[in-house]
Each structure stands twice: as structure tokens, then as C-alpha cells.
Amino acid sequence: MMAELETDVVVVGAGNAALCAALAAHEQGARVIVLERAPEQERGGNSRYTAGAIRFVYNGVDDLLQVVPDLPEDERVNTDFGTYTREQYFGDMERITQFHSNPEMTATLIDRSFDTMVWMRSKGIRFGPSYSRQAFKVDGHFKFWGGLALEVTGGGPGLIEFLNKAIERNDIPVHYSTRAVSLIEEDGIIQGVVARQGGKKLTVHAKAVVLACGGFEANAEWRTRYLGPGWDLAKVRGTRYNTGDGIQMALEAGALPYGNWSGGHAVAWDRNAPEFGDLRVGDNFQKHSYPFGLIVNATGERFVDEGADFRNYTYAKYGHEILHQPGQFAWQVFDSQVTHLLRDEYRIREVTKVKADTLEELAQKLDDVNPDGFLRMIHEYNAAVRTDIPFNPTIKDGRRTEGLRLNKANWANRLDTPPFEAYQVTCGLTFTFGGLKVDENGQVLDAEEVPMPGLYAAGELLGGLFYFNYPGGTGLMSGAVFGRIAGNSAGKAASA
């Protein structure tokens, strides 16, 4: 027997963007129902797998205090939080996306970032300084770098816990293990969703629908179709449930495909990690301290400039480069001069690691790597390092190599001080960049770029924001900003 429900707004998905949309719609006086494909124990989408870093505009510590009012006085005194201005945010987005990012979407993301952080705080979400990932201690003081000062307390799992507590306080029902499969359309107006729940059909009639159920990164067939050959071999960093359902439903209803459909956020990920994300480990399969070492492939050669920029601005594209190497793997190599700088993710139990007291011994331990090619590369690299330039991990220090086919632009140290450590990585896909196009109200546009009545979208299934690459911390921020906008618009439309 077919079950039927009726509400004002139905939100498809239960990650950061979706729950922000649900809370915003509820603020407008709308009755809201959330549909989540995953079972309750796996709720939260990709948001739950993140470290919780979030990128927003702030002009100094006074702005941060509006988001973290309980920041201890000694931390204010002993920390250089710097600033991250509107101009810097724009510059990063333009540079990282090679000026392809939709300028109106980028302006919305940036201009709404700070007030959305304050709004999230009002919903019970708590933030704190990201000391372990975004700051280094220099002369007894912490100095932040890369434009990221705050993270959600408890990371991605904490964010999902805070959001769900807010959902519960507002008595918004969430239906788990419920997969939305199609939109209900009558006379050109979207009026609800058809879902599958426990093998049975569930129809949810609504005045507005918000799609916020992720991209298509967990769909091997779509990855190969849109990202290209070899992407079926990539590991998926997060949830197994983001298979493009929301995008598919919208396209079938006439929505316009938009954005970088051949692109995605892909990082260095432990080679022996499982096919999909593991909630026990979370994001700790990632390996992001490579700017302080070298990355080598099966031939023993380097293939990217590890020091091209701060990790925040290269990590989301270097996974692509690893996927395209022989065997789809690489090794990150460090010596004892920098191992104290490695992030906590290098110290987890579930890590593919080797250690050696000589480079010759290390070369033999690097599985599937040509040892002669590796040692030859190290000799040439060490001879090319400008040791007269001081090493400084808090800035782009210009300590570089000269004369190599592929030079390292910053943080170049000779690899010559034992013990040596190496970590084997492959490509981990976070989310895809192609999706739907929305207007300034978060309303989905059809093939003629006309708003589709009753249909809104937010989160990873939006296209047009990211191309080729991604500034770290922008995913959660865009999810919250555009989720809030879509929820506000859907709630107002449903309550009119």
C-alpha cells in the first residue's frame, strides 16, 4: 500500500546544506519534512566525514568573537589570527578556479559567509580555532595561515550532531532509509517527491522541494561517464549514498545541467583505505602535509610541485594527478627535519607507512617504485635546493629548487636527515563539481534558464561554483550559505 504525507517543504538529504535549508524554511513558518537515503547511523552525508574547517570573511579577532564569544583571553593574546578579507576570498576563488567560477554565486558565497556563521552559531553550532590544522607555533605564538581560522567543534561529526539537535528542537521529522526517486510535477509546478522506503512507495506532497542530497561521486558509472576513464578506480572519501539522485530527478523534470561536470574535489588518500568512507576513521585517511616533503610515482619521479601553494589551495586537485600516475598511486616522502610538522592524520593506526635509516633502505621499501629512479631523483633534487633561503612553514617562503625539470617553489629542504618516512596514497574523491543551476533565491533553473516553480537546490549538487580546484573550507561554507538561501526561499514560497 502506498503511504502519503503532506507538508509545506520537503528537503531531500540530511547533510550540512540540507539541514541548514530545513532550519531556514522552518524559520519562515513552514512545516518541513526531511528525507534521508542513509540509515540513521550513517546520517549526515559527506559533511560528517569532513574535518569541519569553514572559510568565511573576517576582518580581525573582533569578528571571530561574534562566532566564538567564549574564546579564552590567553588565546586572543597569544595567537595571530590575521584577517581574511572579502578581497582575499574573491582573489582565492578566482585564482583557484581559473576565473571560471560564476561571479554572482561567488559574491553570494563571500558576502553571506560571515552572517551565515553567526546564524549557525544561533542554531547551536559551536566553533573553535583550528590550531592543529591551520596554525604553526612560532616563538611561542600561534600564527594562522591560509585564510582558515575556525572549525566546527568536533569536526564533521560534531557539525551533524549540532544540526540534528537543532532539527529535533524544532520538531522537524527526518525519515531515514528513504530514497527520493522522482519529483511530482503538476501543470509545470513541482509539488512533492516520490520516494522508496523499506521497499514501499512513499509520496510526499509539498508546496516546495529543496534538493540537497550531494553530487555523483559514489556512482562509478557516472564518474567514468563524466570525469573520464580511470575514475571508476578512485576511492570515495565520504558516503556511499551520493549517487546523483537529486541531479537525476531535476534533469528529468527539465532542469539545466551546469558547471564543471568533468571536475571534482579529489585528494591524496591512503592507498589501502576502503572503497567508501569509514566513519570510525573519518577524514584521517587524507594525507595533506606533502608541501613539506616530496611526492613520487612508480618510476621514482616527482610529478607535481609540492610547494606550489599552501595545502588549502592544492590538495583538492592533486588527487587527480595521483590517479593519472602509473598504478594510480604515489608515495609522500619526508625526513626528520619536518616530521614534527606532519598533521595528526599521519599518526593513525590505519596508515600505509614505511620507515628507514638510509635512503637506500627506504628505496627498497617503497612498494612498486623503481629504486634506482627514486635515488637518482633524490640526488638531483638535493643538489638543487636553495639552502640559503630560510625555511618558514607559515608563509610561502620562496625556499625553492633551481634547475630541475619540475622545481619546488616553496618549503624545499634537502631530504638527507634520517630517519626517513614515506606514506603511500591514491586518489580519494570528495565530491563532484557538476550539477544544477540556481538563481539568487536558490531556485532551480530549467533549460531556458527560467526558475522552476516549487524547486530549490543547495550543496554539492549545485554547479557553477568550483572548477578544476577548490579552496579548503569552502564546501561547508557554500553548503550552509546556499542551504540557508534555498530554505528561506522555499519556506517563504510555501507560506505565501
The domain boundary residue, chosen from 383, 417, 451: 417
> pLDDT band at 29, cuts 50/70/90?
very high
pLDDT digits (tens, 9 = 90+) for 170-219: 999 999 999 999 999 999 999 999 999 988 999 999 999 999 999 999 99
On whether both 471 and 409 belong to a single domain, the answer is no
On whether both 307 and 410 belong to a single domain, the answer is yes
Distance CA 220, CA 230 (A): 10
On whether both 51 and 200 belong to a single domain, the answer is yes
Return the CA Rg of the chain. Answer: 23
On whether both 52 and 147 belong to a single domain, the answer is yes
The domain boundary residue, chosen from 417, 447, 462: 417
**First-to-final CA distance of the chain:** 33
We report the CATH number of the domain holding residue 175 as: 3.50.50.60
> pLDDT band at 496, cuts 50/70/90?
confident
On whether both 175 and 296 belong to a single domain, the answer is no
Q: Give the residue from 293, 304, 305, 302 showing the smallest Cα distance to 409.
A: 305
Asked if 481 and 16 touch (Cβ cutoff 8 Å), the reply is no
Q: Is the pLDDT of residue 424 over 90?
A: yes
Q: Is the pLDDT of residue 495 over 90?
A: no
On whether both 304 and 441 belong to a single domain, the answer is no
Distance CA 459, CA 480 (A): 8
Compute the average pLDDT of residues 327-347.
Answer: 97
Which own/partner pairs from 63-68 qualify as long-range (CB within 8 Å, at least 24 positions apart)? 63/114, 64/149, 64/150, 66/118, 66/121, 67/117, 67/118, 67/121, 67/127, 67/150, 68/127, 68/128, 68/129, 68/150
Residues 6+ apart with CB under 8 A from 250: 183, 211, 436, 444, 455, 457, 461
Distance CA 111, CA 118 (A): 13
Beta strands in 141-278 (DSSP E): 141-144, 150-152, 174-175, 178-186, 189-197, 200-205, 208-211, 235-236, 257-270
pLDDT digits (tens, 9 = 90+) for 278-289: 999 999 999 999
Does residue 237 belong to any structural domain of this protein? no
Does residue 244 belong to any structural domain of this protein? no
Does residue 320 belong to any structural domain of this protein? yes
State the sign of the Cα–Cα–Cα–Cα dihedral 251, 34, 21, 468.
negative
Does residue 274 belong to any structural domain of this protein? no
Q: Letter for the amino acid at 314?
A: T
Q: Is the pLDDT of residue 42 over 90?
A: yes
Distance CA 196, CA 397 (A): 55
We report the CATH number of the domain holding residue 325 as: 3.90.700.10
On whether both 404 and 443 belong to a single domain, the answer is no
Q: Letter for the amino acid at 364?
A: Q
The domain boundary residue, chosen from 391, 417, 443: 417
At 77 the pLDDT is 87
How far apart, in Å, are the Cα atoms of 161 and each of 167, 241, 257, 263, 283? 10, 19, 32, 30, 17
As a whole number, the mean pLDDT across the chain is 96
At 137 the pLDDT is 82
**How many domains does one find in the chain?**
2
Cα 33 from chain centroid? 26
Does residue 347 belong to any structural domain of this protein? no
Q: Give the residue from 334, 296, 290 showing the smallest Cα distance to 310.
A: 290
Taking the CA of residue 43 as centre, how many other CA atoms within 13 Å lie in the half-sphere pointing to its CB? 24
On whether both 94 and 179 belong to a single domain, the answer is yes
State the sign of the Cα–Cα–Cα–Cα dihedral 334, 340, 341, 343.
positive
The alpha helices in 56-179, defined as continuous H runs, are: 61-67, 73-77, 86-96, 103-111, 113-122, 131-134, 155-169
State the sign of the Cα–Cα–Cα–Cα dihedral 234, 239, 240, 246.
negative
pLDDT digits (tens, 9 = 90+) for 338-385: 999 999 999 999 999 999 999 999 999 999 999 999 999 999 999 999
Range of the domain at 400: 289-342+358-417
Compute the average pLDDT of residues 16-26.
Answer: 98
E strand or H helix at 481: helix 474-495
Taking the CA of residue 248 as centre, how many other CA atoms within 13 Å lie in the half-sphere pointing to its CB? 11
Distance CA 357, CA 181 (A): 56
Distance CA 17, CA 486 (A): 9
On whether both 385 and 446 belong to a single domain, the answer is no
On whether both 169 and 122 belong to a single domain, the answer is yes
On whether both 379 and 489 belong to a single domain, the answer is no
Does residue 422 belong to any structural domain of this protein? no
Does residue 41 belong to any structural domain of this protein? yes
Compute the average pLDDT of residues 298-307.
Answer: 98
Compute the average pLDDT of residues 69-94.
Answer: 94
Does residue 328 belong to any structural domain of this protein? yes
> pLDDT band at 1, cuts 50/70/90?
low
Compute the average pLDDT of residues 457-477.
Answer: 97
Asked if 235 and 429 touch (Cβ cutoff 8 Å), the reply is yes
Distance CA 239, CA 46 (A): 6
What pTM was estimated for this model as a whole? 0.95
Asked if 141 and 76 touch (Cβ cutoff 8 Å), the reply is no
On whether both 147 and 50 belong to a single domain, the answer is yes
